[in-house]
Each structure stands twice: as structure tokens, then as C-alpha cells.
Structure 1
Amino acid sequence: MYDVIVVGARCAGAATALLLARQGVRVLLTDRAAFPSDTISTHLLHPTGVARLRAWGLLDPLLATGCPSIDTISFRAAEDLVLRGAPYPCDGVAVSLAPRRTVLDALLVEAAVAAGAELREGASFQEVIWEDGRAVGAAFGGRGGGRSGGFTERAALIIGADGRHSAVARQVGAKPIRDAGTFGCQFYGYWQGLPNVGTQIFVGGGQAVLAYPTHDEHHLVLVGWPHARFAEVKQDLDRHFLAAVAASAPAIAEQLTDATRTGSITGSGDLGNYVRESSGPGWVLVGDAAAAKDPVTAQGIGDAFAQAQSVGDRLASALAGGPGAVDAAMAAHGVDWERGGRAAFETTVAFAMGGNSARLLPVLRAIERRPELISMFYGVYAGQFTVEEFFAAVG
């Protein structure tokens, strides 16, 4: 019997497994994929998340893989207004990162295994095992790390870290607390040869274009549209993508040639904003399984890390107290996370709806030559400040 079974081994699940295993918790970490493997992601990690990697001892190993630091952001809010500044710092960290998920996820998984977690790849979650109304285990199909056929394991807690369409959430009947809807769609691709000038953001004309450096001297170039255009864009994705970049960022568009492109353009319109009930008897949800926001603010990886830290800080000591203590600790985690993340959720929804545009433009003009406030504006995107706190600071 394990103390915990973690279903899903990407940012939320692997980080949670890592923090628990380091405290001597007996962890079974499972995923239907094998690592390294890719997943749809905007990649960007704000200084808040970078600071957690440093605290966990994983920042230097990530940088050693060739992941470039991003210390400059340029934000074109209008034809005649470009804000240039640094990411807002967190615990002395003032850089962002945009690691490929093939690298970041594998690094987290390897660290969890090194800490003592048992990893079973190719394990497809099937169902929760119940006894007297409490989750006490999980059944899996697939090879489960070399085993033939399916398997079942028992644990004091099942941690669902299996994403937006969480099978664990369905199995335990996690109820929606908030469903704010879907407002955007995003697609991205990789190109070589772009100059590394940090993160570049271009907004306007009903779309947004972003470009930032990632592994192997590539840039991720991303376009976001309102969700109402999803079906149209999907019909001829390459044409719409390149036309959007040409309209919003012509200097970047000139460099997006077939010769410098790597792979196909990918993305998603499945970008709902929601919060689910996150814990119950014998189970807890983390990452997108518990709550998700539109990637317009790129808070997803940082949120996963923060939830992993919250669970890790509470669970190890609670396990000694038995099922009641475990459930109480996870309920407290859920309450604190929902309350603490409420403002960032509302800010993200407002950005995703485009509702802040008219309010922001005159304020952004007022801070054009005030670098400390430009960084604070980027802190709004990172969830460190609300729009109202930013407005108050501008005066």
C-alpha cells in the first residue's frame, strides 16, 4: 500500500510527487504517457514559478538544458505605444522561462523518482476503488511500467493531476464551483533564427501575437483569437496564423519561413475557465484537474507548482493522523487555494474577454517611461497584483 497515488505526471502531478517523496511519503506516480513527451502548452513560466524551481533545487538543472532566461518584455499596446520592461520579481528572481514541456516535465519526473517516488509510465487510469464511501485505491489499464495488463493499487489518498478532462474528477464526482466560460483559442509553432530580444507581445485588431525564446535556439510564436473564430481558423490554420503575425508583428513575420520552421502549428480552443470542488474523502485534485484559466495570462504552470507546494506542505504530517486528518488537510488546501486564487482568476477572465482593453490603454500611456510600473503591469499578468492595485499604484 502506498501513502498516495498520483494520477498524471506532468507539472502538477510530478511536482506534488517530488515534494511528498522528499518528505518520506510513499508515492506511486503514474501517467499514460512515457517521458520525455510533449503536450500542448504555452510554456511560459513567470518569476513566481521560476522562484519555486529555484527553491526546489531544479532551476540550475533546467538552465543547464539550454533553456534561455527571459529578462525583458516588450508589449505593443497600440501602434504608437510599446512598453519595455522586466518581469516583476519574486523572491529575488526577475526572469521568466519558456521551457519545452518535453524537457520540463521529464526533469520534474526524474527529480520525483530520485526523491523516492515510484514511476509507472504507460498506465492508463480506469477507476477509483471505493470502500465505505472513501477512495482507497485506483485501477489502471496498460503496461504500468513493464507489467502486462492492468493493475490495481491502494493508497491513503488519490491525487488527480490528470488535466482539464480529468478522469479522476469524473470518477469522484467533483462538482463545479465556478464555470466562467470559454473566450479564446490559441495556436503556436516553433521557428529558428529569430533574434533573442526577450518576450514580444503584440495586441490589437481582435488578436494577440507573442514570441519568446525556448530550447534549442528556437522561438515559440503564438497567436490568440476570440473563440468565435476557432472554427474558421481551424479550416486553414497555417494561412490564418501567418496572416495574423503579418498584420500584428510584420518584423517577426518576415522571419517565419518554411526553412526556419520546425514542426506543425498546434494549439487548442479548449480553454475554459473553471474551478472544481478539489477534495473529498480520500481524494484531492491539483493543476488543471482542480482549476484552469485561459492561457492569456500564462499562469497555468505556476498555478500547478503553487498547488503542489500547498499539498506538499500539508499532507505529510496529516498522513500520520489517519483518514480524517488527511481529508481535513486537503479540504483546508482547497479552501485556501480557491480563496487565494480568486483575484487572479477574475483578472484572467477579464483579459480573456478583452474587458480591460479600454480601461488599460490610457493608463499604459501614462507609465510609458516608468519602468517600475511597467514591471508591475507584467506582475498583473503573473497574478501578483490585481488590475485595481495596479491602477492605484499608477495614481
Structure 2
Amino acid sequence: MNMTLSDRLPLRRAVPDTRDLGCQRRHYPAALPAASVIIVFHNEGLSSLLRTVQSVLDRSPPHLLHEVLLVDDFSHFADLGEPLESAVAPLRRVRLLRSGRREGLIRAKSLGALAAGGEVLLFLDAHCEVNTGWLPPLLSAVARDRRTVAVPLLDSIDSRSFQYRPLHGATVGPQGSPLLPRGIFDWALRYKERVLTPAEAWMCGGAVQTVPCSRVGHVYRDRTPYDFGDLPARAGGPIISAAANISSFWVGFTPQNFLRVAHVWMDQHREHFLTEEPLACRSFDWYLATVVPELTAIYPPPPVNAFWGQVVHEATGLCVVTGSPVEPLVQTLVFRLSLAGRLISGETCAGFMPSLDSVVASICPSEAAVMTWAYDEVS
């Protein structure tokens, strides 16, 4: 993001009230549970981090804000040391925790959750600005049913100009949602001392609700601006970028995180995505049929895998990758070969392009490329 501009902007700045007029007229109970707002960061720009904190302090009713908990996931930027400590020291309700090694987003969130004292855990990315009246609608949804995971609507903050851009077409009342935006959600649901993912929440008796009367501005970055330290070595393998470009940012998974979700929750569907014991919850088939019945109609299940793993060039020993040649964090190393002979990585298939005399990656299937492959297990 444009940190030169961010550093020039005030930490307290006005943003447009993007709520529907019906939301602005709504009243919420005074007796709502108080929240711990947990903000995990690693090598975040100081001004964008402090602007996030200041917006939470300024736009949250004091009796509903138990604390703001900053969790530093082993940052090494100089201004995130003593300058950050000096900046947050005079702020009431703000605490700073530091991890002793790089933990990654999920473990760092868990550290914050264990240290939090509020009745509700609310997680924010470190580059947000919450909007007017953002907190009561979320807490009201949780208070009505403690099994609810409440999610605000996300407005966009341009990463270059920092212009606040509203999301249009929103309604007023809460709506069921099968998924969560990355990084920003309200977690009150716990199961056996674990914090659950969105699918887990539905499958274990909870619900995920989007709350349109709660608006949060979020800076969408066009790339991941940091590395993962020694996490790949400790995890036993490289970081895998296992998703496409979504809303202008790349989503990355470690192999262990991705495989845990697949093995524990996705039943027979896990082979399309490629631990611990499964929890006593509904099946992933139930989730697909009940929560997102339209999903398989819009996105039919992928073909059955025959093999999956890395593709290695025999002569050089180099791995074949898809993605950006200049951004190693957004390259995918894992391919799957379907029974139909498609060599697939994410949403793309590898095919031979006769006109280029080269192997290319294109959307499956492509009439311009020969896309049928075979694997000889003997040779």
C-alpha cells in the first residue's frame, strides 16, 4: 500500500457513513456483551495500524469495547518496536502482545483469543477503518444467538489513494452467509476450546451472518508484502498459494492448514482440495446441501483425481509452477491429474499449444490446446 501517503494522513479522519438510511434509524439494546477487538499484524505500516486502532476507539461505544488487543507476530520493522509502544501507551483499553517467533495468522489469532478478556472476540485486519455504528449491530446478532458468527459488510479503501469507497446494494437485516471475508469477522462461537472456521461453524450447530448495518473499510492490497520467516522450515515444507486472485489480494495457505481443513471437514470431497480427529458435527455433504445448495449447480464438482503432487522436470530437477514468475508467494506447486487426463492447478489446466510449441496454462478446458495427459507409474 502507499505508506508515503498513509503517513501524511491523520490517524483520525472522517469517512462517509455508508450505512443504509434504515440502519441509521435503528436502535440496539444497551445491554450487549462487550468485545475484545483483536488485531494481528506482522511488519504492518505503523500509520495504517494506528489508524485502525484509532477508528475502533473513536467509533465504538465505550461500554461495548472491553479492549483492543494488538498481537505482534514477530515483526522486525524498527517503528513497530519502541515507537509503537510509545504510541499505544497512553491509549486506554489498548494492549500490545508480542510473539517470540513467527506464528502465522491463525496461531497469532489464537494467542490473542487466549489473552482476551471480552465476552465476544472480534478480529480485524491491521489495515482497516471501522465506520460509524459498526459495533452494536454485530454484538446484537451475537446476543440473539451465541452460536452466531457475525460479519460486517466490507467497504473498500484504495491501497494507493486511500479513498474510502462504499459497497453499494446492501440491505438492512442480517443474512446467512456460507463464508467469511478474510481477516474480518466476529467470533463468539467456540467448540471444545477451538475457534472454528466458517464451514465448521455451520456444521457444528452455529451460523454465519452478514450484518449489513455494520460497515468496515478495508485496504485490499495487490500482493502479500511480507515473507513467512522460518514458518516453512518449521512446517516441513514451502508455503503453498492455493487460491486465485480474489478481490485483488492473494490468499495463501501452509500445506498443514490446507490439509487439516480438507481431511477433517470435507469427507469424500477432500481429494478435490488436496490432523486431528473430526469433531462431532454434521458432514460436509450436509453443509453443501443445506447451507450452499446452489454451489454445486454453479460450480460442478471437479473430476476425480488419479494422482496429485508436484511435477518435476526430469532433466533439470526443477518443479513446474503456475502463477506469477516474479512473485514466488503466488506460485502454485501442486497439480492433480484427473481420471479424464486433465493436469489441473487451481482453476487452470496445463495443455500443449501447437502454435507456440509450448506447454501453457489456460482455463479448463481450452480448445486451443491439447489437454489430455497420462502418467506412467513404471517409468
TM-score per shorter chain, which class?
A: under 0.3
Q: When the two structures are superposed, what TM-score results if normalisation uses the length of structure 1?
A: 0.26
Q: When the two structures are superposed, what TM-score results if normalisation uses the length of structure 2?
A: 0.27
- From the CA coordinates, give the structure whose radius of gyration is larger: 2
Q: Which has the higher helix share?
A: 1
Work out which structure has the larger RCO, using CA pairs closer than 8 Å and 6 or more positions apart in sequence: 1
